[in-house]
Chains A and B, each alone.
Chain A
């Protein structure tokens, strides 16, 4: 049984539908205690990082308890960013911190060397303003070569061989993204996508996995990734 966490950050219909299609047994728990029997936990979500505030200490405790028992966790989009330490989008809100690094807005990195995509210096966004639902622009995006938000189908460059979440997914496979903030490329990155700059599209460290795109909207590739997770959950 997969527990799909509803913290009011987006509609869960599509994720539920996709999981049902691959034959997974899904529940949407109404309280943290209700995930005690879950074989795996999915944290979905779209929108502002501040929405993850709803995942309070009791949820964090319940989710960490499942991970402690070796139960896999999958973060989707905002849910993946929540696995990290935090995000520039809501600097006062802490992430789960299972993966190291802080999420940041696309287009706010400066390359140290033209051919060194991994080494970047981040420009601090203006965090003194109330960012509201849609974050303020850090710089005028319309002058940039790429549009932000990053919306549409983009390709995955597999970053390493052994990530079980990506089993059966070919290098270059395309998936559907819609987001403005990204997670950094670290040793946990299992696949990298480029949109003006490289970012972590898939992360996996043991039983903890995350995808920046929407597997429930990414055709057969997305369903395969969800199936990989369900199999991981056993």
Chain B
């Protein structure tokens, strides 16, 4: 049976892993390669490196980070943050990324999804969707530019479009929950996961072991991504997977 994936996210700025709350207030969490190594030992299923500065200078440093991580880990590695063009995607792939995650640039120009998918295959294309609950409730709105700008799109509709344009996976982040440790937004995750046939990676809000149980059951997630819960060793990947197994959720142990 297909295992539910546990993915660790490394938000990288200036060569260091950092993590904020609600997309703001960053604090350092260490060296990316060192963290990646630790997660691999603990049985992480996949890694995401997210470049949260994405200046030209930082981009070159990021290529080194990707290469360092990819050289010694033989699990899927995705890279995102500031990938705006096919050549940005190519640089990430050349450095050793197996998948690239497109967000703001895909919203501005959805054809980018198709072009990257045609070049590297759909399995290499993740469309990242940052979504927020509409004040009136009910719907989920998409935000661009690290959650700063309303994109004027509905999250479920955008996920469907991304799939039809060639995305291989959706990385769905709840802006409301990001960094709060209040649990994943299961309603958002279930709405998107039931609307597409490609895998949905839930992100934002992981604070305890049961949050993962919830997102894999009621949230219908195929994978769950977390950052701070792992970085500060609050939870080991192994302890999380054992907990999931004890709740009859298939995992790789």
Question: In the complex, what distance in Å separates the CA atom of A144 from the CA atom of B2?
Answer: 14
Q: In the complex, what residue of chain A is closest to B72 when comparing beta carbons? A: A21
Residue of B nearest to A147 (CB): B197
B166 at the A interface (CB under 8 A): yes
- Given A147-B197, A148-B197, A222-B74: A133 touches B168 (CB 8 Å cut-off): no
Do residues A142 and B2 form an inter-chain contact, with CB atoms below 8 A?
no
- CB A216 to nearest CB in B, in angstroms, measures 6
Contact among B71, B93, B121 for A47, CB-based, below 8 A? B121
| Residue A71 interfacial (CB < 8 Å) | no
Q: Quick check: B71 and A17 within 8 Å, CB to CB?
A: yes
Interface size (A, Cβ < 8 Å)? 39
The distance from the CB of B63 to the nearest CB of chain A, in whole angstroms, is 13
Instruction: Give the residues from 75 to 117 in chain B that come closer than 8 angstroms, CB to CB, to chain A.
Output: 75-76, 93-94, 96, 98, 117
Whether the pair B74, A223 counts as a contact (CB closer than 8 A) is yes
Which chain B positions have C-beta within 8 A of A219?
40, 74-75
Which residues from 3 to 24 on chain A have a C-beta closer than 8 Å to any C-beta of chain B?
10-11, 13-14, 17-18, 21
Question: How many Å from the CB of A47 to the closest CB on chain B?
Answer: 4
Q: How far is the CA of A86 from the CA of B4 in the complex (A)?
A: 31
Q: Does chain A have a CB within 8 A of B185?
A: no
Given that A13-B93, A178-B123 are known contacts, is A149 also in contact with B98, CB under 8 Å in the complex?
A: no
The B1-30 residues at the A interface (CB cut-off 8 A) are 1-5
Complex CA–CA separation, A220 to B75 (angstroms) = 9
Q: Give A21 to B123 CA distance when docked, in angstroms.
A: 24
B76 contacts across to A, CB distance below 8 A: 176, 217
CB pair A18 B74 closer than 8 Å: yes
CA distance A59 to B1 in the complex (A): 37
- Are the C-beta atoms of B166 and A134 separated by less than 8 Å? yes
Question: Are B45 and A153 touching (Cβ within 8 A)?
Answer: yes
Provide the residues of chain B in CB contact with A17, threshold 8 Å. 70-71, 74, 96
Nearest chain B residue, comparing its CB with the CB of A146: B2
Q: Is B122 an interface residue (CB 8 A)?
A: yes
Given contacts A21-B74, A152-B222, A153-B3, contact A142 B195 (CB under 8 A): yes
B121 touching A152, Cβ below 8 Å: no
Tell which of B40, B72, B169 touches A151, judged by Cβ atoms closer than 8 Å: B169
Q: With A142-B195, A147-B197, A149-B168 in contact, is A217–B74 under 8 Å at CB?
A: yes
Closest to A154 in B: B2
A154 to B45, CA, bound (A): 11
Flag A112-147 by CB within 8 Å of B: 1 or 0 each. Answer: 000000000000000000000110010011101011
Contact of B223 among A152, A176, A218 (CB under 8 A): A152
A223 to chain B, nearest CB (A): 6
* CB neighbours of A133 from chain B (8 A): 117-118, 121-122, 166
Q: Is B194 an interface position by the 8 A CB rule?
A: yes
Cβ–Cβ < 8 Å partners of B4 in chain A: 152
Q: Cβ of B60 < 8 Å from any Cβ of A?
A: no
Report which of B96, B166, B194, B252 forms a contact with A14, defined as CB distance below 8 A: B96
Asked if B74 and A152 make an inter-chain contact with CB atoms under 8 angstroms apart, the answer reads no
Cα A18 to Cα B71 in complex, Å, equals: 8
Which of A46, A142, A179 is within 8 Å of B197, CB to CB? A142
Asked if residues A174 and B117 are in contact (CB atoms below 8 Å), the reply is no
CB distance from A193 to the nearest CB of B (A): 9
1/0 contact trace for A21-59 toward B, CB 8 Å?
100000000000000000000000011000000000000
Contact A142 B223 (CB under 8 A): no
Instruction: Tell me how far the C-beta of B217 lies from the nearest C-beta in chain A, rounded to whole angstroms.
Output: 15
Q: Closest CB of chain A to B242's CB: distance in Å?
A: 15
Do B121 and A149 have beta carbons less than 8 Å apart? no
Q: List 19 A-B contacts (CB under 8 A).
A: A10-B120, A17-B71, A17-B74, A21-B72, A133-B117, A133-B121, A133-B122, A134-B117, A137-B197, A140-B197, A141-B197, A147-B197, A147-B198, A149-B123, A151-B168, A151-B199, A153-B3, A176-B75, A222-B74
Known: A11-B124, A148-B197, A194-B1. 9 other contacts (CB 8 A): A14-B96, A17-B74, A17-B96, A134-B122, A144-B197, A147-B197, A149-B199, A154-B2, A176-B76
Question: Which residue numbers of A lie inside 8 Å of B, CB to CB?
Answer: 10-11, 13-14, 17-18, 21, 46-47, 133-134, 137, 140-142, 144, 146-155, 174, 176, 178-179, 194-195, 216-220, 222-223
Sorted nearest first, the 6 A-B pairs with minimum C-beta distance are A141-B197, A178-B123, A174-B252, A153-B252, A47-B121, A153-B3
